[in-house]
Every structure is written in structure tokens, then in C-alpha cells.
Amino acid sequence: MKKILVSQSLIEVESLKERLEQAGIRCMVKNQQGSTLAGGVPFVEVFPELWIVKNEDYGQAKELMSVWTKVETKSSAAWICSECGEKHSGEFTACWRCGREKGSKSTPRNRFSPEMDHASSVSWQIVMGMFLGAAMTFLAFFWRDYVSLKDISEDRNGDGKVDVIDTYKSGWLHSEKRDDDFDGFFETSYEYSRAGWAIRGEIDLNEDGKPDRIEDFTLGKLVSVNFIDPATGKVKKRAFYKFDAKTREEIDEDGDGKFERIIQFDQFESPLP
């Protein structure tokens, strides 16, 4: 009986014993419980030992151990795939790129080809082209609606003359002029908020360049109307609204700037007694 291995690891000794016995070589392990004696005897004397039972098997066992050591050392080294040329570290057993197993001559599971790489490249170019196209479309609409949009003219009655002019600032409707009677004079004008609600309206009925009626809005709803006396430029009547229904009128009957008469209205805009 000859000793073939001494190791601090009992697992290593047991593993080698199992491999040798599978090869037909009888073995035995000494000092399996040697760790319990540590401190009482030199530590090297309590390490697990692997012994070959028959002396004539010792040479074969040494040869097998040498072969196994070379294979394990080789398997841990870096390797290059013979199919696609990709370099791998030793822990990889198959090529990540084409699927060929390490040292195998079998057909790879995922064969890499220039055609596949070209197809992937073309697909990526298509996706990028679609993305850039969408981005350019968005920028074009942004430029039209928020930057370059200034004035828009409209011919509502089709007589070939402009009767509505919308003016934009920074992309939002700022004001509007209208020729409501289609006589060529823009007597009505409105101002708008960024939210698109009307703020103020002016109507020049006698076309003298001065408003005869001024409308005020809150959140796009009419709240008051001032009627101007063209002769004096003073407010001769004021009307107040709630939910687009007239609720009250104040009238300056003698033009002194004071409202002598006040009329209240019901929900149907009928004067209350």
C-alpha cells in the first residue's frame, strides 16, 4: 500500500478517491477525522491522506492523476473559438457569439454570419431612420405652430376679400380682427389669452376708428359690456352678464357720468319690476 496524496482538503481527497475507484483502482483514506487531533500533534500529520491499496496500481494512479491535472489546467486557460474567432476566458465552455462548444467540431447552435450581422445593421438603420423622421416631423410642426406662425387670413363669404385676420405671438392666438358686415372695414376686434379665451372685444359700429362698444370677458365668458357715446366718448350704458345671461343694466340718461337708472333682469333676461 502506497500513499499517493496528502491534502488539507478532505473533499479533494475523497473526490480523487472516487475518480480512481471508477478507473478500477482501490484506494483508502486515512486521517478522515484528523482535524479533531489538531493541536495535540503536528498539523501535517493529521491531514487527510489517500493511499493506493495495491502497490502495482500505484504507477497507473500517478499517470491518471497527471493526465487529469493537464486537462484541468488546459480547460482553465483562455481559448479562441475555431468557428468565429471570438476569444473567451477559461470558464466559458461555449462561444457566446456563435454557440460552438469549446474544442467541439459540431455545428454551432447560433452560427454567426456576416449576413446576420448585416441584417441586424440594416434593421437598426431602419429604426433610426423612423425615429429621425418622426423627430423631424415634430420639429416641422413645432416651427409652424409655435415659431413661424404670425398671421392667418380668411375669406368667409368667398368674395375674394379678406374678412378675418388672426394674429399669433409665440405660437398662440393673440388677437383677431373681423369684418362682420363684409363692407371692407374691420369693425370688430378681440384679444385672447394664452389659453385661447377671449379677454376683451371692441366694436366700431360707425367706423370712426373709435370703439362704440367694449366687451370684457373672464375665462372666455362675457361679464360686461360698455356702450360708448360717440359724441362725448363717455360710457352711456353698462350691461353685466352671468353665464352669458344679462343680469343688470346701468344707464347714464343725462350724460353727466353718473348712472341714474339701474335695471335688474331675471334668468330669462326680462326686466324685474
pLDDT, one tens digit per residue, over 166-181 is 998 877 889 999 999 9
Whether pLDDT at 102 is above 90: no
Cα R_g (the chain), whole angstroms: 49
Average pLDDT in the 20-47 region?
72
Q: Residue 166: which H helix or E strand, with range?
A: strand 164-169
44 pLDDT higher than 60: no
pLDDT range class, residue 188, cuts 50, 70, 90: very high
CA distances from 174 to 47, 168, 171, 196, 224 (A): 94, 5, 9, 8, 21
pLDDT (mean) for 67-71: 77
For residue 39, which amino acid is it? G
Least confident of 60-64, 149-153, 244-248: 149-153
Phi, psi of 110 (to 5 degrees): -130, 75
Tell me what the pLDDT averaged over the chain comes to: 82
> What does pTM read for this prediction?
0.46
Instruction: Read off the pLDDT of residues 225-259 as tens digits, 9 standing for 90 and up.
Output: 999 999 899 999 999 999 889 999 999 999 898 99
CA 14 vs CA 2, 6, 75, 92, 150: distances in Å: 16, 11, 22, 26, 89
Q: What's the Cα-to-Cα distance from 110 to each of 102, 115, 119, 123, rounded to whole Å?
A: 14, 13, 15, 19
Residue 135 is predicted with a pLDDT of: 85
Q: Three-state SS for 14?
A: helix
Q: CA-based angle 215:229:237, to the nearest 5?
A: 55
User: In the predicted model, is pLDDT for residue 67 greater than 80?
Assistant: yes
3-state secondary structure of 97: coil
- pLDDT score of 121 more than 80: no
Query: How confident is the model over 131-154, as a mean pLDDT?
Result: 73
b/e for 253-263, b at 16 or more Cβ within 10 A?
eeeeeeeeeee
Rounded CA gap, 179 and 257, in Å? 31
Neighbours of 239 (CB within 10 A): 20
Nearest by Cα to 248 from 227, 266, 263: 263
61 with 52: CB under 8 angstroms? yes
| Length in residues, the chain | 273
Average pLDDT over residues 181-191: 95
pLDDT at residue 271 in the model: 92
Task: Give the mean model confidence (pLDDT) for residues 196-206.
Answer: 94
Q: What is the pLDDT of residue 143?
A: 62
Which is more confident, 186 or 169?
A: 186
d(CA 265, CA 271): 4
Residue 46 pLDDT: 73
Is residue 101 a contact partner of residue 112, using CB atoms and an 8 Å limit? no
**What's the pLDDT band for 105 if we cut at 50, 70, 90?**
low
Provide the pLDDT for residue 265.
Answer: 95
pLDDT at 112: 46
Binned at pLDDT 50, 70 and 90, residue 263 comes out as very high
